[in-house]
Amino acid sequence: MWMSRQEGTAALRAREETGGRGGDQRRAAVTDTPVPGCPRRVHRAQAWWASARTLGSVLLERDAENEVAYELCQLLGRAILPLRPGGDGPAGTAFFFRHAAGEFLLTADVLTHAETVEVGLRPSVTEPAGVAGDVLRLPARWWVHRPAVGVATLPTGGLHERAAAEGWRWRTQPVPAVVAAGADDVARIGAQEVSAVVLALGVRDDGSRPLEVAVERVVRADDGLRLTGELPVGYVGAPVFALRPDAAGEVGLRCLGVVLPGEEGHPVATFDRIVADLPPVD
């Protein structure tokens, strides 16, 4: 069963209420109709509205997509971190995920094989203000690689220990397990396109990493799921949320998984496979 939007955002809001204030209020240039108050720019799949008329059972209207994108941005904006392999590696995104087994930082595996991986510390994800540095350099050995799934996982105990040693604390909004897609959720997505939202940290010309949203479409391709559009630089490793109306018109919400690199679209490493292979937490 897909979680309704009210149930999903209520669960996320409960997590937010235990984690502090709202998200980072920095804004990026808007390339399409913005969701008011959401600190990002919007990228949309081309001609999505034409598809919505022919596939109305699985694609949302634009206003509904905007509303859900805004809610996700506010409730999970502080789950998202900028990431880059040491040296000249490609920019990507990582995000916090909280499961009964523990808390983890997730990203695409291809981003984590350098000797060190640089994780950016956005001002909104640490407290007290001004104490943490701008970047954490994490050794490659901290990451647990799952190449068959395409994801790298890092239990966050070491991150919290480092923060405590340096005199600051994490202030995050992890994606909760209650909205992670199970095998049944993944199986419900077929050849018809389903509305999807990607929360990521893009890359501006000046090198800054603003919080952004991409409104896309996801379909089944071969044995897995795939985003049909090309995403901007920095989006690999980000979480993908599927939005699907039911027969009553209610919006279902699930976090499908992690954006992987690709051409003419992007494969998605789905949460049913990620959760089945989470590493042990000390």
Segment 184-216, tens digit of pLDDT: 999 989 999 888 999 999 999 998 999 998 889
Residue 182, sorted as left (phi over 0), alpha (psi -120 to 50) or beta, turns out to be beta
- Taking CA atoms, 119 is separated from 78, 84, 107, 169, 193, in Å, by 14, 7, 11, 15, 33
**Is 80 exceeded by the pLDDT of residue 233?**
yes
Domain with CATH 2.40.10 in the chain: 3-77+179-271, 79-175
pLDDT digits (tens, 9 = 90+) for 130-162: 999 999 999 989 999 999 999 999 999 999 999
What is the phi/psi pair of residue 273, to 5°? -80, -35
Instruction: State the DSSP code for 26.
Output: -
User: What mean pLDDT is predicted for residues 14-38?
Assistant: 34
Query: How far, in Å, CA of 34 to CA of 118, rounded?
Result: 30
User: What mean pLDDT is predicted for residues 109-117?
Assistant: 94
pLDDT at 244: 65
Q: What's the token pair of residue 84? A: 């880059």
3-state SS of the chain: helix, strand, coil percent to 5? Answer: 25, 35, 40
Q: What's the token pair of residue 143? A: 């990451």
Query: How far, in Å, CA of 158 to CA of 32, rounded?
Result: 39
- Please say whether the beta carbons of 150 and 112 come within 8 A: no
105's CB contacts (< 8 A; 6+ apart) are 81, 94, 95, 96, 97, 119, 153, 154, 156, 159
Helix, strand or coil, per DSSP, at residue 270: strand
Q: What's the token pair of residue 200? A: 């990521």
Residues in the chain: 282
CB atoms within 10 A of CB 69: 24
Residue 17 vs residue 245, higher pLDDT: 245
Residue 177 vs residue 14, higher pLDDT: 177
18's CB contacts (< 8 A; 6+ apart) are none
Which CATH code fits 3-77+179-271? 2.40.10
Short-list 218, 268, 212, CA closest to 58: 218
Whether pTM > 0.85 for this model: the answer is no
Burial 37-53 (b: 16+ CB within 10 A, else e): ebbbbbbbbeebeebbe
Q: What class, spelled out in words, does domain 79-175 have in CATH?
A: mainly beta
pLDDT at 5: 44
